[in-house]
């Protein structure tokens, strides 16, 4: 009889725990949610993060507040989220730099890109566009490479920081084109474009959202895009692949993540709301205008993508000597 009472008590405890968890999820969210963007305002992470935050605020009935925490190629803001309470009220706009490059280049990275996070939703892929200052005479990628080869170490390219998506894409291009161009890291993509327009640097390979207004105004010249196909927003700009480097593809990717241990039901609920937002016509239109491609999928699929990205970019990091000492 004792064993029977023990089993009954255990079942009662488990049922209470289950009911408590269900109650927690049914009442979530009860206060504003913080979405940390680990870069300065004005970059692709910020632009996409704010677009998703607005839709989440509408569907969840609570404000989703953007907090920009820049520095160390996104590592500072990312680590802040990794060490936050796992209750669904602190989220991260993670991307290829924070979760596929930083782990390969920073020997003392304070977070684990896989074990310290719960993948919530893959938001978008964003192609990079190679742009140059008008003083650079090149009109095509071949001309730019020839120009760089004739001036080894004399051209500078800017990125949003060591380990950023633009850093990775440009090092990949340098690897396949065998060119020597000097890297100048900034604290975000927006100041890169400011200095590029001013002629302080000669080229950059940022995401389309942060560069497109400068392209439209003629302040910078587009040379090629990193995607496998031309973009509707830049139909006359060829891909790197069709410009002499078949197979080249180096798009950025962005996704929402939460601290490891966040309740699975909360993660799944967020995933549903974000995927619903990505299907909304107004957000699709906004993404299209920015050159971004919505990527609705499951948390599990997004987690697998992160793991695969770590393996894919290791050879580029090694070839570009990107690892910090």
3-class DSSP state of 222: strand
Chain position carrying tokens 């302040």: 219
Is beta strand 129-132 parallel, antiparallel or unpaired with respect to 221-225? antiparallel
Asked, colleague to colleague, whether 31-125+252-319 and 129-243 share their fold, the answer is yes
DSSP lists the bridge partners of residue 183 as 157
Q: Which helix (H) or strand (E) holds 119?
A: strand 117-126
233 close to 155: Cβ distance less than 8 angstroms: no
Residue 323 sits at the vertex; the CA angle it makes with 244 and 92, to the nearest 5 degrees, is 90
CA 175 vs CA 45, 172, 319: distances in Å:
26, 5, 7
Residue 93 sits at the vertex; the CA angle it makes with 54 and 259, to the nearest 5 degrees, is 115
**Per-residue pLDDT, 56:** 97
Q: What is the pLDDT along the chain (325 residues), one digit of tens a residue?
A: 445 555 555 555 555 544 444 445 568 999 999 999 998 898 888 989 999 999 999 999 999 999 999 988 889 999 999 999 999 999 999 999 899 999 999 989 999 999 999 999 999 999 999 999 999 999 999 999 999 999 999 999 999 887 788 999 999 999 999 999 999 999 888 899 999 999 999 999 998 988 999 999 999 999 999 999 999 889 999 999 999 999 999 998 999 999 999 999 999 999 999 999 999 999 999 888 878 899 999 999 999 999 999 999 999 998 888 887 6
Q: At what angle do helices 208-217 and 189-198 cross, to 10 degrees?
A: 20
For the chain, the farthest-separated pair of C-alpha atoms sits apart, in whole angstroms, at 89
The DSSP line for 150-213 is TSTTT-EEEESSTT-HHHHHHHHHHHHHT---EEEE-SSHHHHHHHHHHTSSSEE--BHHHHHH
Q: Which residues contact 318 (CB under 8 A, 6 or more apart)?
A: none
Topology of domain 129-243, CATH: D-Maltodextrin-Binding Protein; domain 2 (3.40.190)
Q: Which of 153, 161, 58, 96 is nearest to 309 (CA)?
A: 96
**Per-residue pLDDT, 7:** 53
CATH: 3.40.190.290, 3.40.190.150, 1.10.8.50, 3.40.50.720. Which one for 31-125+252-319? 3.40.190.150
Residue 205 sits at the vertex; the CA angle it makes with 96 and 236, to the nearest 5 degrees, is 115
- Distance (Å, whole) CA 163 – CA 169: 10
DSSP lists the bridge partners of residue 49 as none
Helices H, strands E: what count in the chain?
13, 11
- Distance (Å, whole) CA 103 – CA 111: 8
Listed by start position, the domains of the chain span: 31-125+252-319, 129-243
DSSP 8-state code for residue 88: S
- For 47-62, letters b (16+ CB in 10 Å) and e give bbbebbbbbbbeebee
* 3-state helix vs strand vs coil in the chain, percent to 5: 45, 20, 35
**Per-residue pLDDT, 71:** 86
- Distance (Å, whole) CA 37 – CA 81: 10
Query: What are the φ/ψ torsions at residue 201 (nearest 5 degrees)?
Result: -130, 165
């Amino acid at each position: 009889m004792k064993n029977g009472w023990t089993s009954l008590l255990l079942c009662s405890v488990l049922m209470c725990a289950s009911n408590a968890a269900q109650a927690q999820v049914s009442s979530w969210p009860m206060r504003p949610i913080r979405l940390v963007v680990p870069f300065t305002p004005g970059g692709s992470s910020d632009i996409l993060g704010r677009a998703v935050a607005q839709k989440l605020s509408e569907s969840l009935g609570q404000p989703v507040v953007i907090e920009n925490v820049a520095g160390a190629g996104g590592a500072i803001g990312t680590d802040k989220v990794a060490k936050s309470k796992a209750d669904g009220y602190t989220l991260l706009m993670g991307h290829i730099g924070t979760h596929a490059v930083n782990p390969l280049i920073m020997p003392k990275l304070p977070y684990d890109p896989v074990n310290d996070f719960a993948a919530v939703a893959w938001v978008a892929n964003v192609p990079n566009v190679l742009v140059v200052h008008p003083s650079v005479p090149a009109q095509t990628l071949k001309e730019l490479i020839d120009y760089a080869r004739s001036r080894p170490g004399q051209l500078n390219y800017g990125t949003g920081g060591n380990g950023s998506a633009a850093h990775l894409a440009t090092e990949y291009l340098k690897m396949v084109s065998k060119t020597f161009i000097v890297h100048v890291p900034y604290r975000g993509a927006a100041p890169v474009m400011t200095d590029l327009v001013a002629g302080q640097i000669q080229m950059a390979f940022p995401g389309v959202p942060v560069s497109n207004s400068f392209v439209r105004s003629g302040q910078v010249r587009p040379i090629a895009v990193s995607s496998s196909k031309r973009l509707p927003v830049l139909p006359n700009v060829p891909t790197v692949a069709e410009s002499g480097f078949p197979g080249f593809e180096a798009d950025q990717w962005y996704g929402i993540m939460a601290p490891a241990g966040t309740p699975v039901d909360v993660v799944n609920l967020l995933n549903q709301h974000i995927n619903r937002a990505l299907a909304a016509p107004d957000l699709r239109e906004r993404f299209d205008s920015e050159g971004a491609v919505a990527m609705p999928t499951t948390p599990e699929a997004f987690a697998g993508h992160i793991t695969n990205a770590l393996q894919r970019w290791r050879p580029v990091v090694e070839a570009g000597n990107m690892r910090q000492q």
